[in-house]
Structure 1
């Protein structure tokens, strides 16, 4: 397994996020267009996980405010799940967040993504009120972690 830091311009990141967007159609249903508008942005801090030279997972972190990074676009290809890829990507994103002088990370996920929520909670993320564009979105679960 190899983790590579890059940007959202990476063709491998774009490939994985297209798979993720297809996956999310079933999750988000009628809200898919609402969420999609926030995912078509340039992100300078992307981590891609490669296994035998193949991109199998990704995640990104973008600035939310001066002290807070927002974890975005966490995804592992379905054929490569349960191998610790998401944990490795999340750890690398948190390391990068500290290097960027963030003191905390926030994220939003769907209440339907129970495994993702469990992963984040295992890493110390705690529920917070919905923030930003997710205020009032019943299907959103927002979490935060103070970085050490």
Structure 2
């Protein structure tokens, strides 16, 4: 498995993001989804990581949007065909390391209550639940978490 910062504007990565969107659509109504589109993900203040299998195919991704007060973790996803091997943890480790190297000392995230595996991963990696941040409203379909370095 190879994990590195890459541009999200690649056909296999776009296909992976489409897979993520379909998964999210199966869990939450549109008004409870806060996905970033490709035009945001390619901005210079966004770190975007891709996990590739032995054949070079994109099987996981994640992003951190760097802001003045915190970085926000977005678009974390590992395709079902690659789950169970620690890919998500390795993606998160790389993104955190890269964000910290750029001066980020606090990472926040919003996820949903119907993703127990994601909630477990974030808790195991030191994220703690918190209240809404930024422009988010309190919502029963949102779980907010943060981690400081």
Structure 2 unmatched runs, 5+: none
RMSD, aligned α-carbons: 1.5
Instruction: Check the 8 A contact 1:105/1:146 in 2, yes or no.
Output: yes
Residues 16-71 of structure 1 show CA distances to partners (whole Å, capped at 9, x for unaligned) of 1100000111111x3x25525x42242231100011111111100102x3141101
Instruction: Check the 8 A contact 1:134/1:140 in 2, yes or no.
Output: no
> Are positions 1:87 and 2:89 aligned together?
yes
Matches within 5 A, 1:1-148: 1-28=1-28, 30=29, 32-35=30-33, 38-40=35-37, 41-43=39-41, 44-52=46-54, 53-63=56-66, 65-147=67-149
Instruction: Check the 8 A contact 2:32/2:141 in 1, yes or no.
Output: no
- Runs ≥4 residues deviating over 3 A: none
TM-score by length of 2: 0.89
Instruction: Check the 8 A contact 2:32/2:142 in 1, yes or no.
Output: no
Number of matched residues? 143
TM-score by length of 1: 0.89
Which structure has more strand as a fraction of its residues?
1
Structure 1 unmatched runs, 5+: none
